[in-house]
Amino acid sequence: MSRSKRAQPVFICSQCGHESRKWLGQCPDCSAWDTLAEQQQAQVRYGRQQPAAPESLAGGDLAEQARLVTAIAEMDRVLGGGIVPGSMILIGGDPGIGKSTLILQLLAALSREDAKTLYMTGEESARQIKMRARRLGIDNPDIYISTENSVEAIIQLAGEMQPVLLAVDSIQTMFSEEVASAPGSVTQVRESTARLLTLAKTRGLPVLLVGHVTKDGAIAGPRVLEHMVDTVLYFEGDRGQVFRVVRTVKNRFGSTNEIGVFEMKESGLAEVANPSALFLAERPEHVPGSVVLPSIEGTRPILVEVQALVSRSNPGNARRTAIGTDPQRLALLTAVLEKKLGVTLFDHDIFLNVAGGIRIDEPAIDLGVVVALLSSLFEKEVAPTTVVCGEVGLAGEIRAVGQMEQRLQEAWRLGFRTFIMPESSLRASDEQARQGMTCVPVRTVNQLADYLFQG
């Protein structure tokens, strides 16, 4: 007598999507604790399709398909020049930071005569979306809204309407009717994304997904989610500040780590064409602990202010706080200064901040951090027309950084006339780019301290 086979349960990690046949206290893949939850294994069957005919590598038309260029230049920048037909874009960010606002503005920029856009939302009602659109001054009849959560229904609607862009807010609220699990589960997120990806690739329809983020700032759901899509954008910024930064962390059709800068206003997100001037608009002059750094974000040079506050504390209770850069890097540079310059910092509280809410992760920030720390410690200001840039090694040496010509030109354009840089970068930089700028080469932190704070 035959016995019916039941679907075997599987334990899936809510952080990374790792699957296990038994429950484990710690995920063996991402090492997270108490994240494996029991779910029924998805029994999904795909119909056999006619295989696509192979093409020769040497032949064919190599002309790039035209991108969808929006009227939002900052978005076109982070996307590599516009939206590629058939691509899937994932954008994540904290709640309330402006993701839905950006989507509405993007749909309005793409909607035109005989070109419809479709906005699928599983978190808000159509009335809420219309109220936000009215506040933003968007009243476009070619933007269509639906509160459908079923992926199968979304695919059917997209096939009937033929929009130029499909936006899904958010992927964690969508579900497939063929998967026996709740919306938001790892299986549902993965399966829903796979079906929407098939829609995008087979019909050439660009799909924009909105994703929730965890408390650590990563997009919620399995790690495979970011691998499946073509482009991943992160919405950065503090809701208490007016600046918003859209950063590219993955892009199959353009450069990564590109940023777009916006300012949040009552009428929505406004582009910032000159972010350097905006970030330095409120910079205090003739104040110890402040220095300007020319940073490179993607292909764009941006000048930012690095601030440091060094104050005496009780020994053993000193604090190290870094906002806008890696705290571990701050601890490393503090140790280098104590070892190579002989300054005493173990009994001082150190607070570091990159003004404007932007985050800088490139090694070129090292010299800015060192100068800001020494300026605050010695209570000596840095000349307001001076910029610094360079990487600091464990031996106290100052190493070269790339794209120095772009940094020089941006600093000169904004009125800075003295550039403290690594000696090797000065030799490698273009002499024409240095015209009019006083370039000060330094090899070690000792030379740097002697030049800026001697006497």
pLDDT tens for each residue of 174-226: 999 888 777 888 888 889 999 999 999 999 999 999 987 766 656 656 567 88
DSSP, collapsed to helix, strand or coil, labels residue 273 as coil
289 and 303 housed in the same domain: yes
H helix count then E strand count, the chain: 12, 21
Name the least confident of 103-107, 252-256, 440-444. 252-256
Name the least confident of 275-279, 354-358, 377-381, 432-436. 432-436
Domain hosting 17: range is: 9-40
Indicate whether 63 belongs to any domain: no
Indicate whether 165 belongs to any domain: yes
Q: What is the mean pLDDT of residues 259-277?
A: 89
80 and 154 housed in the same domain: yes
Distance CA(252)–CA(80), nearest Å, equals 9
Beta bridge partners of 302: 295
The answer on pLDDT for 60 being more than 60 is: no
- Which of 225, 253, 272 is the last residue in one of the domains? 272
123 and 242 housed in the same domain: yes
344 and 416 housed in the same domain: yes
The answer on pLDDT for 46 being more than 60 is: no
Please report the pLDDT score of residue 107 as a whole number. Answer: 93
312 and 204 housed in the same domain: no
378 and 351 housed in the same domain: yes
Residue 187 token pair:
């299986």
132 and 34 housed in the same domain: no
Q: Above pLDDT 90, what percent of the chain?
A: 54
- Which of 219, 238, 272 is the last residue in one of the domains? 272
- Which of 218, 253, 272 is the last residue in one of the domains? 272
Compute CA 192 distance to the chain's CA centroid, rounded to the nearest angstrom.
24
Residue 77 token pair:
């920048």
231 and 84 housed in the same domain: yes
The answer on pLDDT for 62 being more than 60 is: no
Cα–Cα distance list, 266 to 110, 130, 234, 241 (Å):
22, 16, 22, 13
Please report the pLDDT score of residue 215 as a whole number. Answer: 61
Indicate whether 68 belongs to any domain: no
On average, the pLDDT of the chain sits at 87
Please report the pLDDT score of residue 42 as a whole number. Answer: 54
Distance CA(290)–CA(374), nearest Å, equals 10
265 and 290 housed in the same domain: no
19 and 129 housed in the same domain: no
Q: What is the pLDDT of residues 389-404, one digit of tens each?
A: 999 999 999 999 989 9
Name the least confident of 53-62, 106-115, 227-236. 53-62
DSSP, collapsed to helix, strand or coil, labels residue 231 as strand
237 and 359 housed in the same domain: no
Question: pTM of the prediction?
Answer: 0.79
Q: What CATH number should be reported for the domain holding residue 82?
A: 3.40.50.300
Number of structural domains (the chain) is: 3
Please report the pLDDT score of residue 174 as a whole number. Answer: 92
300 and 262 housed in the same domain: no
Half-sphere exposure (Cβ direction) of 119: Cα atoms closer than 13 Å: 26
Indicate whether 21 belongs to any domain: yes
Q: Using 50, 70 and 90 to split pLDDT, how confident is the model at 4?
A: very low
Rg (C-alpha) for the chain, rounded Å, is: 26
Side chain identity at residue 184, one-letter code = G
